[in-house]
């Protein structure tokens, strides 16, 4: 079987999802998990877009050793130079250059002639080759480009030093048959195409990103780009876990395979869902929680007699295991630390101490403590370690009932270290709580989305809340957990505000340092 390389852009294209705002420590956590998953190339960000992105890409490039780390850049020298400074510490530094090639983009966005686009691409690939051993060049909006123009420009950028050619379906416009024919045409008409990897990058606007990616593989592509859980701008990207599992399950049909460790898929999916706040829909292919739930009586009967009657993917294949009790109130710190190490998340001794303390408190209130419970506690600790709260919930009380007006009283520690109290009403308990918190916070807040989920099952399950807030006009995601759903809701709301404050403190510091960073595309 031939080997298909996996190019993961969760940290770049995936983070462009509306409301997703990861700090550099959270990005590093994801990068380490992607390394365990076994991706071939990891796009860590767009170094020239901001000081924060530059620092995150540099941190990942200096830390990750078993995966080629790349950064996105426009075809301008400033972007290339900044990207080199961020990526030069990587084991195999790689640059991802892009320039649009479709008539509509060249005319209205770039305001460049086709000849100028070729010249700019060739010159910048040649310039980047002086620094980077591996260069991927992308023809933005390739699927709406003239194929003969693509042939012409691809041949020239390969001669200039490109090692990977990517033809993305930038706006999710194409169909599997069309996309496959385009790659056939390029392979048949570009004389030096055998010198490079040919890559696909599909968006999901029409719901065909995975199908288009598979079609590209059928037509000679040697690298597939996408994200875990299919996250990304607009309707998202091709879900890499779906591509990899499809190639594995239908190995009788496809003669291609990836190097992904499929049993790391669930852990990767869970981590990214928690840190981005973009929960996986229950009926999502491969990784949705309903993928293995057989409710129909006929299905249940068949699965009990032989799982293969309805179950083409075993839960174990992607790392789904039984979530049984593993530790209890009498478990010691050593056993707890061993379990934390199994998750592959690095904690300092101080963080271990804090997590163990929270675990012991949980065992006093919860009969059964599961892997998911421990994982949620750890992620809360890592979040706080990466982003120290500026507002902190001290105490709260909510009064409500079928015949009462819901009223909340909250005591909040402010960024200045002072204690502030207020009380407000609302149409429901959560609205009363959020109305009260809002009066204690100086920022202009608007709740855009609110979700509450249980971690595991049972009436004593942990609650996990996710909110999306407009903070002074900027969309921010917040998350929080607690055994009480109201407390989890309060933690998520305050977390979103704190993330906004921390982000803007970092921006002010960057402006003070006057670090030269190019403008974001």
- CA neighbor of 461 nearest in space, from 342, 373, 360: 373
> d(Cα 440, Cα 394) in Å, to the nearest integer?
12
For residue 506, give Cα distances in angstroms to 51, 53, 387, 449: 9, 11, 11, 26
HEC string of 101-169? CCHHHHHHHHCCCHHHHHHHHHHHHHHHHCCCCEEEEEEECHHHCCHHHHHHHHHHHHHHCCCEEEEEE
Looking at the chain, how many residues does it have?
A: 521
The fold of the 2-276 domain, in CATH, is TIM Barrel (3.20.20)
- CA neighbor of 457 nearest in space, from 354, 340, 324: 324
Are 371 and 403 in contact, with CB atoms under 8 Å apart? no
Rounded to the nearest angstrom, the gap between the alpha carbon of residue 131 and the centroid of all alpha carbons in its chain is 28
> d(Cα 192, Cα 502) in Å, to the nearest integer?
49
> Does residue 411 sit in helix, strand or coil?
strand
Show Cβ contacts of residue 116 under 8 Å, excluding neighbours closer than 6 positions. none
> d(Cα 495, Cα 472) in Å, to the nearest integer?
15
Number of neighbouring beta carbons within 10 Å of residue 255: 11
Given the DSSP bridges, would you call strands 164-169 and 197-202 parallel, antiparallel or unpaired? parallel
Sequence-ordered alpha helix ranges (H) in 402-458: 429-439
Are 60 and 69 in contact, with CB atoms under 8 Å apart? yes
> d(Cα 165, Cα 175) in Å, to the nearest integer?
20
Q: Which residues pair with 395 in a beta bridge?
A: 411
Given the DSSP bridges, would you call strands 94-100 and 256-257 parallel, antiparallel or unpaired? unpaired
Are 257 and 3 in contact, with CB atoms under 8 Å apart? yes
Strand ranges inside 177-232, DSSP E:
197-202, 223-226
The dotted CATH code for 392-509 is: 3.30.160.270
Cα 159–160–162 angle (5° rounding)?
90
> Phi/psi at 169 (nearest 5 deg)?
-95, 75
For residue 308, give Cα distances in angstroms to 292, 305, 313, 332: 12, 9, 9, 41
- CA neighbor of 492 nearest in space, from 514, 471, 464, 521: 464
User: pTM of this prediction?
Assistant: 0.87
425 class by beta-carbon count within 10 Å (0-12 exposed, 13-18 middle, 19+ buried): middle
- CA neighbor of 422 nearest in space, from 444, 396, 400: 396
> Does residue 404 sit in helix, strand or coil?
coil
Domain ranges (residues) in the chain? 2-276, 333-386, 392-509
Show Cβ contacts of residue 356 under 8 Å, excluding neighbours closer than 6 positions. 333, 336, 337
Given the DSSP bridges, would you call strands 5-8 and 2-3 parallel, antiparallel or unpaired? unpaired
Tens-digit pLDDT profile for the chain (521 aa)? Answer: 799 999 999 999 999 988 788 888 889 999 999 999 999 999 999 999 999 899 999 999 999 999 999 999 999 999 999 999 999 999 999 999 999 999 999 999 999 999 999 999 999 999 999 999 999 999 999 999 999 999 999 999 999 999 999 999 999 999 999 999 999 999 999 999 999 999 999 999 999 999 999 999 999 999 999 999 999 999 999 999 999 999 999 999 999 999 999 999 999 999 999 888 888 998 999 999 887 664 445 555 555 566 666 678 888 899 987 544 456 666 677 778 887 887 777 788 888 888 888 888 877 776 667 777 788 788 777 766 555 558 999 999 999 888 889 999 999 999 988 999 999 999 999 999 999 999 999 999 999 999 998 887 777 788 999 999 999 999 888 889 888 999 999 999 999 999 888 878 766 666 655 444 433 33
């Amino acid at each position: 079987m031939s080997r298909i390389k996996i190019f993961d852009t969760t940290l770049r294209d995936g983070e462009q999802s509306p409301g997703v705002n990861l700090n550099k420590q959270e990005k590093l956590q994801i990068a380490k998990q992607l390394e365990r998953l076994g991706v071939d190339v990891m796009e860590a960000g767009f170094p020239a877009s901001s000081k924060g992105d530059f620092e995150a890409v540099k941190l990942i490039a200096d830390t990750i050793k078993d995966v080629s780390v790349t950064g996105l850049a426009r075809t301008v020298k400033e972007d290339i130079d900044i990207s080199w400074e961020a990526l030069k510490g990587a084991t195999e530094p790689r640059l991802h250059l892009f320039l649009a090639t479709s008539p509509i983009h060249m005319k209205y966005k770039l305001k460049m002639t086709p000849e100028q686009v070729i010249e700019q691409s060739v010159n910048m690939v040649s310039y980047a080759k002086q620094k980077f051993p591996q260069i991927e060049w992308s023809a933005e909006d390739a699927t709406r480009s003239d194929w003969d123009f693509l042939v012409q420009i691809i041949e020239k950028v390969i001669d200039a030093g490109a090692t990977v050619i990517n033809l993305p379906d930038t706006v999710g416009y194409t169909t599997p048959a069309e996309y496959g024919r385009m790659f056939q045409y390029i392979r048949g008409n570009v004389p030096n195409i055998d010198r490079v990897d040919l890559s696909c990058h599909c968006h999901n606007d029409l719901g065909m990103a995975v199908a288009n990616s598979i079609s590209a593989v059928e037509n000679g592509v040697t690298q597939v780009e996408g994200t875990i859980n299919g996250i990304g701008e607009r309707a998202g990207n091709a879900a890499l876990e779906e591509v990899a599992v499809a190639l594995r399950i239908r190995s009788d049909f496809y003669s291609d395979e990836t190097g992904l460790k499929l049993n790391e898929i669930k852990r990767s999916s869970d981590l990214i869902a928690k840190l981005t706040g973009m929960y996986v829909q229950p009926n999502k292919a491969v990784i949705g929680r309903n993928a293995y739930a057989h409710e129909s009586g006929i299905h249940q009967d068949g699965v009990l007699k032989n799982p293969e009657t309805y179950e083409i993917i075993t839960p174990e294949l992607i790392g789904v295991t039984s979530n049984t009790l593993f530790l209890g109130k009498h478990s010691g710190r050593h056993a707890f630390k061993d379990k934390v190490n199994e998750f592959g998340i690095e904690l300092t001794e101080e963080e271990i101490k804090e997590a163990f303390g929270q675990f012991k408190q949980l065992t006093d209130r919860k009969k059964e403590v599961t892997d998911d419970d421990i994982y949620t506690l750890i992620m809360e600790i890592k979040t706080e370690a990466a982003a120290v709260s500026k507002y902190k919930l001290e105490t709260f009380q909510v009064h409500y009932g079928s015949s009462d007006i819901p009223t909340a009283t909250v005591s909040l520690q402010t960024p200045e270290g002072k204690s502030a109290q207020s009380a407000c009403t609302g149409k429901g308990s959560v609205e009363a709580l959020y109305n009260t918190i809002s009066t204690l916070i100086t920022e202009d807040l608007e709740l855009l989305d609110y979700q509450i989920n249980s971690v595991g099952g049972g009436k004593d399950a942990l609650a996990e809340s996710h909110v999306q807030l407009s903070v002074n006009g900027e969309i921010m995601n917040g998350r929080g957990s607690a055994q009480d759903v109201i407390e989890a809701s309060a933690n998520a709301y305050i977390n979103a505000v704190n993330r906004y404050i921390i982000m803007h403190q970092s921006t002010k510091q960057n402006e003070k340092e006057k670090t030269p960073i190019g403008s974001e595309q």
